[in-house]
Chain A
Amino acid sequence: MRGIKRMLAVAGKEVRQLARDRLTGGMVVGIPLIMILLFGYAINMDVRHLRLGIADQADTQRSRMLVADIQATQIVDAITMARDGAELEELLRRGDIVVGLLLPADFERRLTDPTRNAGQLMIDGADPIVQGVAQALANMPFAARPPQPAAASLLAVRTFYNPEGRSAVQVVPGLIGLILSFTMVLFTAVAIVRERERGNLEMLITTPIRTIELMAGKVMPYILIGLLQVTLILVVGIWLFDVPLVGSILDLYIAASAFIAATLSIGLLISTFAQTQFQAMQMTFFVIMPSILLSGFVFPFDGMPVAAQIAAQILPLTHFLLLVRGIVLKGAELGELLAPMRNLGIMFAIAMTISILRFRKRLD
């Protein structure tokens, strides 16, 4: 009982200090906002004049009409003609074109069959901007093919080099994980080290407060801050970038809480090593860099070397990306995502245990 009161006292004090610390307060809202706007708009930019290569194997009146329509959008500029798909692929690989349009010899027949795509757009999927553009082109209205519900799109999109085909919609959920792992690790690590640096800890550890009360009290406010950031990113993502929230919002918050717990405990662990706030920041970046690179946020997970895939397993972000993409984009339920939830739980337990064992109520 006294323990809980002490923990709440620490938490209350932390909230007060946070409220007065403009810099940290600004970071709570500023980091998510800036990052989502940067990522979101960079990906959603209005794109024009992409280099287009065309292989018109049908060469009919209507196939030429389609090419003209596509050019009229001004999104693409036809710069070269190719004989077949293989040649387009070659051009793509060399980077001569970023979009290839393949209209096969049986284009006319396909056009009249609503279950089939009339042609194919080949794109360099390593570029998420192109990804979005291709989607738009693929569904563009074509006079010769009246829109029908449940029909196949006019063109099929074939993505090269980025089989996961990420776009703004797919980056935003991942951003939740990226932003949280950055802010949560940094805030907790710094929160404890700051007390050490300012000498507060020297006095605190001569009081009867227990390590676990101190640590729990210190991190409690940051769980709420983390959930606040999740909300902020979601709202902006849905509102500005039309990110669909397919799955359950409750599931999402539960998954986010598990992830926040895991990252906070890593922040605590860092705080038991760092002597100064500066060291804490350096160590945070040491954790964040691999998270960005290896978790599957930037590079598709399946394309990474096995060693990197194994290393990525110890990063909470790897598991959270599975959760958040599953819930937000695919509408998966938590019940289907038990493995990543369990992994986050294990990470939390391990990091927390080591932190509490390492934190001594002593100065040496």
Chain B
Amino acid sequence: MTESTPAGPAIVAEHLTRRFGQVTAVANVNLQIPTAQIYGFLGPNGSGKSTTIRMLCGLLKPSDGRVHVLGHEVPRDAEALRMHIGYMSQQFSLYKDLSVAENLEFMAKIQGLDRRARRTRIDECLTRYDLGRLLTQRAGSLSGGERQRLALACAILHRPALLLLDEPTSAVDPQTRRDFWESLFELIDQGTTILVSTHYMDEAERCHRLCILDHGRVVGEGEPQQLIDDIDAHVVEISNGDLRRVRRALEGSAGVRSIAQLGSRLHVLMDHRTTDPVASAREALGGEHEHVAINVVRAGLEDVFVAATGAATEAAD
């Protein structure tokens, strides 16, 4: 069902840029998105995730740069591409005043499925996404998780080779999120390429590859584990002691990039140039806090994210 050669990337973008008046929402982004993998866009609000995805499916015209999706040049050949993509926008975009069955039926017709294919595909999706008992319910009265399953079902009715999901799980509890990701991996097994944007770390960690966006720029790209291994910062945790005062002492010290409190611990990101992070942390604290415990810990994806997005200044507040 995939049209592009399995070896080649599903999406190639070069110097992709999009300006809205004075604002540059996406700045010089280069992407190589491999086929049959889950590729994640991780970034804070306003970092350009939605804008990039919209350019990739031909909804927005790039101000600059070139995009090839499944071998089609976008936006020039966007029409030819549309048979092969499924898109779930950030906002729920199905008809709230139509029932689950009516929405599925409508989307199947719009995708050009014939009567037989419609029946089998809709039945498959109803079973797979557990929508059978909601058939006659209006989409507007579904819960967040049900809506999201319906939206996914509608997006894959025509078995697209590429699925673009813009923050699909923003209104969904962790268990439902897990189930949702299980279904994404099933689609991967069937050869679908999936591009998903998120700001959840647990979701980012599940992607084959990640692209971290900040202010429209790519500030990190690679496999999640690789990104963690390559983090350009040390992470130490401080416990025991008056964390409030410790925090005040550390704030603004040289070498400290961000501080976040996790329960009874302070999670501190230290500059990668410091050779002994524990010693420099103690030094920053001065003589006052000798009894506190300072340990180097393994970095997580969130640390990568914080280090990469330069959110250090905000995190210190």
Residue of A nearest to B95 (CB): A200
Q: Are B89 and A362 in contact (CB under 8 A)?
A: no
Name B's interface SS: loop
Residue of B nearest to A363 (CB): B59
Is A51 in contact with chain B by the CB < 8 A criterion?
no
Query: Which of A5-13, A74-82, A158-166, A179-187 participates in binding chain B?
Result: A5-13
Is B177 in contact with chain A by the CB < 8 A criterion?
no
Q: What is the minimal beta-carbon distance from B160 to any residue of chain A, in angstroms?
A: 10
A16 CA / B95 CA spacing, docked (Å): 11
Binary A-proximity of B77-88 (CB < 8 A = 1, otherwise 0): 011001101011
Tell me how many residues of B have a C-beta within 8 Å of chain A: 30
A6 CA / B97 CA spacing, docked (Å): 19
- Measured between beta carbons, the chain B residues less than 8 angstroms from A307 are none
- Measured between beta carbons, the chain A residues less than 8 angstroms from B95 are 13, 17, 200
Q: Are A202 and B85 in contact (CB under 8 A)?
A: no
Q: Are A6 and B59 in contact (CB under 8 A)?
A: no
Is A205 in contact with chain B by the CB < 8 A criterion?
yes
Residue in A20, A209, A362 whose CB lies within 8 Å of B58: A362
Residue of A nearest to B115 (CB): A5
Q: Are B94 and A203 in contact (CB under 8 A)?
A: yes
A201-244 with Cβ < 8 A to chain B:
202-209
Known: A12-B106, A16-B98. 12 other contacts (CB 8 A): A6-B112, A13-B98, A13-B106, A199-B91, A199-B92, A200-B94, A202-B59, A206-B85, A206-B87, A361-B58, A362-B61, A364-B60
Q: Are A205 and B112 in contact (CB under 8 A)?
A: no
Decide: A203 near B89, CB < 8 A? Known: A21-B97, A208-B83.
yes
- Measured between beta carbons, the chain B residues less than 8 angstroms from A199 are 89, 91-93
Residue of A nearest to B78 (CB): A361
Q: Are A6 and B96 in contact (CB under 8 A)?
A: no
Q: Which 4 A-B pairs have the closest CB atoms?
A: A9-B109, A203-B93, A199-B93, A199-B91
Q: Are A208 and B92 in contact (CB under 8 A)?
A: no
Is A198 in contact with chain B by the CB < 8 A criterion?
yes
Which of A8, A9, A205, A206 is packed against the most chain B CB atoms within 10 Å?
A: A206
A207 CA / B97 CA spacing, docked (Å): 20
Q: Are B82 and A206 in contact (CB under 8 A)?
A: yes
Is B75 in contact with chain A by the CB < 8 A criterion?
yes
Q: Are B96 and A198 in contact (CB under 8 A)?
A: yes
- Measured between beta carbons, the chain B residues less than 8 angstroms from A198 are 93, 96
B145-180 with Cβ < 8 A to chain A:
none
- Measured between beta carbons, the chain A residues less than 8 angstroms from B187 are none
Q: Are B82 and A207 in contact (CB under 8 A)?
A: yes
Decide: A206 near B57, CB < 8 A? Known: A9-B106, A199-B89, A199-B91.
yes
Residue of B nearest to A210 (CB): B79
Binary A-proximity of B52-73 (CB < 8 A = 1, otherwise 0): 0010011111000000000000
Is B205 in contact with chain A by the CB < 8 A criterion?
no
Name A's interface SS: helix
Residue in B59, B88, B106, B112 whose CB lies within 8 Å of A362: B59
Q: List 16 A-B contacts (CB under 8 A).
A: A12-B106, A13-B95, A13-B106, A16-B102, A17-B98, A21-B97, A198-B96, A200-B93, A200-B94, A202-B93, A206-B85, A207-B107, A208-B82, A362-B75, A364-B60, A364-B61
A362 CA / B79 CA spacing, docked (Å): 11
A9 CA / B110 CA spacing, docked (Å): 7
Is A2 in contact with chain B by the CB < 8 A criterion?
yes
- Measured between beta carbons, the chain A residues less than 8 angstroms from B112 are 2, 5-6, 208
Q: Are A207 and B59 in contact (CB under 8 A)?
A: no
- Measured between beta carbons, the chain B residues less than 8 angstroms from A20 are 97
Residue of A nearest to B111 (CB): A207
A interface with B by C-beta (< 8 Å): 2, 5-6, 8-10, 12-13, 16-17, 20-21, 198-200, 202-209, 361-364
A342 CA / B34 CA spacing, docked (Å): 57
Decide: A208 near B111, CB < 8 A? Known: A362-B60, A362-B61.
yes
Q: What is the minimal beta-carbon distance from A83 to any residue of chain B, in angstroms?
A: 72
Q: Are B109 and A6 in contact (CB under 8 A)?
A: yes
Q: Are B87 and A203 in contact (CB under 8 A)?
A: yes
A6 CA / B95 CA spacing, docked (Å): 16
A9 CA / B95 CA spacing, docked (Å): 13
- Measured between beta carbons, the chain A residues less than 8 angstroms from B107 are 207
- Measured between beta carbons, the chain B residues less than 8 angstroms from A13 are 95, 98, 102, 106
- Measured between beta carbons, the chain A residues less than 8 angstroms from B58 are 206, 361-362
Q: What is the minimal beta-carbon distance from A89 to any residue of chain B, in angstroms?
A: 62
Residue of A nearest to B92 (CB): A199
- Measured between beta carbons, the chain B residues less than 8 angstroms from A6 are 109-110, 112
- Measured between beta carbons, the chain A residues less than 8 angstroms from B60 are 362-364
Q: Are B110 and A204 in contact (CB under 8 A)?
A: yes
Which of A10, A17, A208 is packed against the most chain B CB atoms within 10 Å?
A: A208
Residue in B85, B98, B110 whose CB lies within 8 Å of A209: B110
Q: What is the minimal beta-carbon distance from A1 to any residue of chain B, in angstroms?
A: 10
Q: What is the minimal beta-carbon distance from B265 to any residue of chain A, in angstroms?
A: 42
- Measured between beta carbons, the chain B residues less than 8 angstroms from A362 are 58-61, 75
Residue of A nearest to B86 (CB): A206
- Measured between beta carbons, the chain B residues less than 8 angstroms from A364 are 60-61
- Measured between beta carbons, the chain A residues less than 8 angstroms from B111 are 207-208
- Measured between beta carbons, the chain A residues less than 8 angstroms from B82 are 206-208
A21 CA / B78 CA spacing, docked (Å): 34
A16 CA / B110 CA spacing, docked (Å): 16
Q: What is the minimal beta-carbon distance from A15 to any residue of chain B, in angstroms?
A: 11
- Measured between beta carbons, the chain A residues less than 8 angstroms from B61 are 362, 364
Q: What is the minimal beta-carbon distance from B147 to any residue of chain A, in angstroms?
A: 13
Q: What is the minimal beta-carbon distance from A22 to any residue of chain B, in angstroms?
A: 11
- Measured between beta carbons, the chain B residues less than 8 angstroms from A204 are 110
Residue of B nearest to A205 (CB): B59
- Measured between beta carbons, the chain A residues less than 8 angstroms from B106 are 9, 12-13
A363 CA / B102 CA spacing, docked (Å): 26
